[in-house]
Structure 1
Amino acid sequence: MPSPYVRRRRLATELRKIRESRGLTTDELAKLDYQSRTKITRLENAQVRPDLAEVVTILEILEVTGRQYEKLFQLARDAAVKGWWDRYGSPMGPRQRLAADLESSAKTIRSYDQTAFPALLQTPEFISALVKLDESQGTLDYRPERMADARARRQKCLLSSDGPMYETVLDECMIRRLAVPPAVKAAQLRHLIALVAAEERITVRVLPCDGPIPGGFLPKASFYLYAFPASADPPLVVVDTVTTDLVLTERQEVARYTEVYNRLRQVALSSRDSLTFLGRLADRLTDEAGSDI
């Protein structure tokens, strides 16, 4: 299934271009459509799931016909589709809904993680430990049990026969500094090792904290690069910030983050050496956990 979010952004871009080519402002289109300017703006900014009847009306106002009409109508249909994540609603958390949507049709996912292990690769015990850390910072914008259930569903999709290629670069500083119980972290590390051994499509690399990264500045946040099978669906970047996820689609922005990722990957340990590193750290954490009993 094509990502509804990706198709929504494509539809928004196309509608905005056509409106501008007709010499209409959003206010003028809203008046012709008997709608509010805000509603048109939200549609053109991909902030809402499109209503098919409303899109048809706009296409008629803009005098779109023939193959262009068929193309845009199909885009609107794809953009309006609801995925399994929509059944979870807000209890799943807004960030996770976006991620599930993008993962549903991604061909490849590459990530740099400097704050936590990738959600797609987390154990239930590790998720619970992260929830406790999150609770210490304030009110949650999700229900932990629903979030964990949805995350398990995402992991199942990743491991399905048609799941995407997944590569992550884990910052060593994150691995060592994340304040979860040693036994839980050790189990998480062994889970990563087992996943990589069992799934050729999953690659984990560790970025050593003592190695310089030439070619430019250090990354300022975790980020995720998504590429999709359809050539018409452009790649995009999701940048993880403290309060929200930023979605970047401009070609230059995507290229810049791709270049940063490639620089990190070149300095990171090989997959084999990364697994060796994670195994040794897991053993050390297990010893620490045992000494605390």
Structure 2
Amino acid sequence: MAATPPTLRQRRLGAELRKLREQAGLTSTEAAARVGIQQARMSMIEAGRYGVSADRVRAMARCYACDDAALVEALGSMTGRRGRGWWDEYRELLPVSLVEVAELEHDARALRVAVLVAMPGLLQTAEHARASYGQNVPALRPYEIEHHVAFRIRRQGVLGGSSPLPYTAIIHEAVLRMGVGGADVVRAQLHHLIEMGEQEHVNVLAIPFERAGFPAAGQPITYACGPTPQLDTVLLDSDHGCELLFAEAQLARYRTVLDRMERCALSPAESSAFIHKIAKSL
């Protein structure tokens, strides 16, 4: 039987432990000797392919002279075996990178999204999502479209329930004027944006064409806040799949990009009125 691939959480834990080791100036062989395990096991832990306990994580942190208690505690909480998430049902139906988006959203403490050409997935109506997937190249079969739509709608659960995720979406006017699905679908989608923006935990911020001075990031950006800043993650979406970034320099760069875009956007109230005006013109 083939080994089960490591989850996104397991890979991230291993990457963070490797980062701490490298910051301590230790090779994996040296670190393994100090922690009291074989070098091969150390490599498997850092690859996310071998389980590690919270106590072992704390021991490794001491070995690496890491005195950031909040980070060590957060890493410890990422250990152990976790039950299957609802997204695991889709692992044989959808690309792995897409499935991992749901896992990332589930584990996030807050989300910031910026889009210039496509509607944020967590704010799409089913009709808009269906029309959007209908434009895929190569074309999806009808049942594949329905799998994608159902998955997208289930992802939106993080914005509901008793503890909804704080969510900010920065949306360029180009997105609001895209004719995906025709006028009726677009109108319904825009009204849905307005309704979502009225929720306390959701901020919908629009950038009109005439607003200049923002960095034009071509691909959608998702910034997922972790339990500590070091565990934040940037997700870049493209036709070729999703790319995950979590190096400190990359995180700092995209925080700056999003901050600049947010400063260029209208206020939530102005954005609502702006979106309503576009919907009324259809």
Contact 1:8 1:76 in 2 (8 A): no
Task: Identify which of 236, 241, 245 aligns with 1:239.
Answer: 236
Name the CA shift for 1:240/1:144 in 2 (closer, same or farther; >3 Å). Answer: same
Task: Identify which of 106, 109, 120 aligns with 1:107.
Answer: 109
Task: Identify which of 208, 226, 236 aligns with 2:224.
Answer: 226
Shift of 1:5: 2.4
Name the CA shift for 1:218/1:15 in 2 (closer, same or farther; >3 Å). Answer: closer
> In structure 1, what is the equivalent of residue 26 of structure 2?
21
> In structure 2, what is the equivalent of residue 194 of structure 1?
195
> In structure 1, what is the equivalent of residue 87 of structure 2?
85
Name the CA shift for 1:74/1:166 in 2 (closer, same or farther; >3 Å). Answer: closer
- What letter corresponds to residue 261 of structure 2 in structure 1? L
Shift of 1:173: 1.4
TM-score, length basis structure 2: 0.77
| Residue 253, structure 1, aligned to residue 250, structure 2 | yes
- What is the number of residues matched between the two proteins? 256
- What letter corresponds to residue 161 of structure 1 in structure 2? S
Shift of 1:65: 7.9
Name the CA shift for 1:95/1:204 in 2 (closer, same or farther; >3 Å). Answer: farther
Contact 1:205 1:269 in 2 (8 A): yes
Shift of 1:232: 7.4
In the alignment, structure 2 segments of 5+ residues that lack a partner are: 1-6, 31-37, 64-71
**Where does structure 1 differ by over 4 angstroms across 4 or more consecutive aligned residues?**
15-20, 32-35, 64-68, 70-74, 139-142
In the alignment, the residues of structure 2 paired with residue 44 and residue 262 of structure 1 have an alpha-carbon distance, to the nearest angstrom, of 33
Deviates further, 151-160 or 171-180? 171-180
Deviates further, 257-266 or 94-103? 94-103
Name the CA shift for 1:73/1:167 in 2 (closer, same or farther; >3 Å). Answer: closer
> In structure 2, what is the equivalent of residue 278 of structure 1?
275
In the alignment, the residues of structure 2 paired with residue 196 and residue 15 of structure 1 have an alpha-carbon distance, to the nearest angstrom, of 40
In the alignment, the residues of structure 1 paired with residue 28 and residue 190 of structure 2 have an alpha-carbon distance, to the nearest angstrom, of 57
Contact 2:114 2:220 in 1 (8 A): yes
Name the CA shift for 1:84/1:168 in 2 (closer, same or farther; >3 Å). Answer: same
Name the CA shift for 1:224/1:16 in 2 (closer, same or farther; >3 Å). Answer: closer
In the alignment, the residues of structure 2 paired with residue 283 and residue 74 of structure 1 have an alpha-carbon distance, to the nearest angstrom, of 48
Structure 1 vs Structure 2 CA RMSD: 3.5
Residue pairs, 1:81-160, within 5 angstroms: 81-134=83-136, 137-140=137-140, 143-160=144-161
Shift of 1:8: 3.1
TM-score, length basis structure 1: 0.74
